[in-house]
Amino acid sequence: MTATLPAPRAARYDDLMQIHSPEFQERARHALDDPGLQKALGRAKEGFQVKRAAAVAGLPEFEALRDTAADIKNHTLANLDFYLETFAANVEAAGGRVHWCSTADEARAAVLKICQDAGARTVTKGKSMISEELAVNEHLEKHGITPVETDLGEYILQIRDEGPSHIIAPAFHLNREDWEETFRRVHTDLAPDRVFAERRDIMAEARIKLRQKFLAADVGITGANFLIAETGSSVIVTNEGNGDLTQTLPRVHIALASIEKMVPTLEDATSLLRVLARSATGQDFSVYTTFSTGVRRPGDLDGPEEYHVVLLDGGRSNMLGTEFQDMLRCIRCAACMNHCPVYGAVGGHSYGWVYPGPMGSVLTPTLIGVDRAGHLPNASTFCGRCESVCPVKIPLPKLMRHWREREFDQHLSPQGVRSGLGIWGWFAQRPGLYRSATGAANLALRLWGRGQGVFRSLPFAGGWTAGRDLPVPQPGGTFMAQYARRKRRG
């Protein structure tokens, strides 16, 4: 067994690139044996599931609104070219600029150029998964610009040099002790023996530290939950208010958004907002839902003088017209991971890249390639809870199955693997059988591995193992076997 694996940074960036998705099984095994992580993951039920259920119960129209939300997204995707062009025209009419970027490289370059043109030395950042996807921080640092994450969870991850483990609660994997230890280690200007009597003392310390950063920043970078064609607005949804300070105080605001964030009108955005917070945190509405449109107007006393939307395709347009088009409806609420037994057992870092849980298992192979994320669609018990809570009704289990089929077609052509995984898929749909059957398959793989740590070449998977090592299943058994044992123990 290896020592502790580094928590993955979210980079997909030449020499900084760290994609750990192929290590899923190994990471999962470590995660199951990490008591701190298991304690943190134990909060999913009270922290997310119970709250969502209460919010949903409080809104009789919730189920009907899921259909509305899916319809709005489907309509937008079917006319995405029209809405993007309308959006861009309206951004420009309001004095902003849209930077169309086909690839992650283009988007990183666009962000850097805007910052350099602004003469920026420090940049504050609101939470943005696109920023994680692009590894914006690493790119800015490499060019001498200091990015400062301002979302409380992102802030501690930045100083710990870790990636997020959850798309709306990035520090979900940490416990209070971790926060205290990290702040003591990094905020060395404060008394080392200060007492954190309450969680709010930890938060207050971050608030003071970050206030100074907000005021010093030359550029503020936020994500966008939605883009609105009708008005040319970008929308952010937060509880802390950090995103608003980020986009209001600096002279330049950059909104990072991928093309599928588009919706036609304010009414459409409103319908999606009604299901977003309820699905995510179980709030009826988040504290700050803010619509930004262009630059400071004549007479305004505050607000940015420059407004840029960096609009990323990054492989998404290729999903249109395929069985994965449905995934573009995703509004990043995280309900699927909050209700996923696999995520709940192994945590977000096991997935090895930016997007964990069921939505990550579907999205990651499209964005970074099935060759590098091919394990992920297998990280499912196919229990169907993700689909049943998804506010835009994405058929996540079906899409994970599609990936597995594609994986055979593209990379695993030798007959042995095809039939092996085909059988796996058959069992996967029959959870009772699946548990014991995968135990048997695991044993078979171990025998083939002849006790070595890693398969260099499998008798049946030449093409697949050529470029990389396939971890040998360890004697501890499959993920599901360990999971079951842990359950019995706990």
Partner 1 sequence: MSRQAILDSIRRGLRRGPLPADQRAMLEGRLAAHPRQLIPARSRVPRPEQIALFLRNLEKEFATFERLADAAAVPGAVAAYLARHNLPSRFAIAPMLADLPWADRPMLTPEARRAHPDDLVCLTHGFAGIAETGTLMLPSDPARPTTLNLLPDTAMVLLRASDIVGAYEEAWDRLRAAGPQGVWMPRNVMLVTGPSRSADIEQTLELGAHGPRRLHVLLVDDE
Residues binding ligand SF4 (CB under 6 A): 330-336, 359, 389-392, 394
- What is the C-alpha to C-alpha distance for residues 72 and 63, in angstroms, rounded to an integer? 15
C-beta neighbour count of 296 within 10 angstroms? 17
49 binds partner 1 (CB under 8 A): no
Strand order in the sheet with 252-258: 97-101, 306-312, 252-258, 219-222, 122-125, 146-149
359 binds partner 1 (CB under 8 A): no
Q: Residue 33 has which token pair?
A: 């044996």
Among partner 1, ligand SF4, none, partner that 291 touches (CB below 5 to 8 angstroms by kind) = partner 1
426 binds partner 1 (CB under 8 A): no
Q: How far is the CB of 18 from partner 1 (least distance, A)?
A: 24
C-beta neighbour count of 371 within 10 angstroms? 14
Task: Give the gyration radius of the chain's Cα atoms.
Answer: 23
CB-based contact 223:111 (threshold 8 Å): no
Nearer to ligand SF4, 37 or 396 (CB): 396
The amino acid sitting at 187 is H
State whether residue 454 is helix, strand or coil: strand
353 binds partner 1 (CB under 8 A): no
Nearer to partner 1, 31 or 311 (CB): 311
The conformation of residue 169, written as its DSSP 8-state character, comes to S
Instruction: Candidates 7, 20, 23, 48: give the one binding partner 1 (CB under 8 A).
Output: 48
79 binds partner 1 (CB under 8 A): yes
Instruction: Candidates 14, 300, 409, 469: give the one binding partner 1 (CB under 8 A).
Output: 300
State whether residue 219 is helix, strand or coil: strand
Nearer to partner 1, 20 or 73 (CB): 73
Residue 363-402 contact track with partner 1, rule CB under 8 A, x = bound: ----------------------------------------
Q: How far is the CB of 279 from ligand SF4 (least distance, A)?
A: 6
Among ligand SF4, partner 1, none, partner that 459 touches (CB below 5 to 8 angstroms by kind) = none
Place of tokens 């999903």: 319
- What is the C-alpha to C-alpha distance for residues 233 and 201, in angstroms, rounded to an integer? 36
Q: Is 267 exposed, middle or buried (0-12, 13-18, 19+ CB in 10 A)?
A: exposed
C-beta neighbour count of 24 within 10 angstroms? 23
Residue 51-70 contact track with partner 1, rule CB under 8 A, x = bound: --------xxx--xx--x--
149 binds partner 1 (CB under 8 A): no
Q: Which of the residues 223 through 242 are near partner 1 (CB under 8 A)?
A: 229-233, 239-242
21 binds partner 1 (CB under 8 A): no
Instruction: Candidates 298, 451, 459, 490: give the one binding partner 1 (CB under 8 A).
Output: 298
Instruction: Candidates 301, 459, 489, 490: give the one binding partner 1 (CB under 8 A).
Output: 301
Q: CB within 8 A of 345, min separation 6: which ones?
A: 28, 31, 32, 41, 479, 483, 486
* Distances from the Cα of 206 to the Cα of 6, 179, 377, angstroms: 25, 10, 37
- What is the C-alpha to C-alpha distance for residues 327 and 321, in angstroms, rounded to an integer? 11
Nearer to ligand SF4, 217 or 392 (CB): 392
Instruction: Candidates 80, 255, 368, 390: give the one binding partner 1 (CB under 8 A).
Output: 80
- What is the C-alpha to C-alpha distance for residues 345 and 112, in angstroms, rounded to an integer? 38
Nearer to partner 1, 64 or 433 (CB): 64
The number of helix segments (H) and strand segments (E) in the chain equals 24, 12
Element (H, E) at 471: strand 470-471
Among ligand SF4, partner 1, none, partner that 48 touches (CB below 5 to 8 angstroms by kind) = partner 1
Among ligand SF4, partner 1, none, partner that 399 touches (CB below 5 to 8 angstroms by kind) = none
Place of tokens 């991850």: 157
288 binds partner 1 (CB under 8 A): yes
Q: How far is the CB of 393 from ligand SF4 (least distance, A)?
A: 8
Q: How far is the CB of 37 from ligand SF4 (least distance, A)?
A: 21
Nearer to partner 1, 31 or 80 (CB): 80
- What is the C-alpha to C-alpha distance for residues 455 and 396, in angstroms, rounded to an integer? 31
CB-based contact 404:425 (threshold 8 Å): yes
Residue 89-108 contact track with partner 1, rule CB under 8 A, x = bound: ----xx-----xxx---x--
Q: How far is the CB of 56 from ligand SF4 (least distance, A)?
A: 13
- What is the C-alpha to C-alpha distance for residues 164 and 168, in angstroms, rounded to an integer? 9
Nearer to ligand SF4, 20 or 73 (CB): 73
432 binds partner 1 (CB under 8 A): no
- What is the C-alpha to C-alpha distance for residues 480 and 477, in angstroms, rounded to an integer? 8
210 binds partner 1 (CB under 8 A): yes
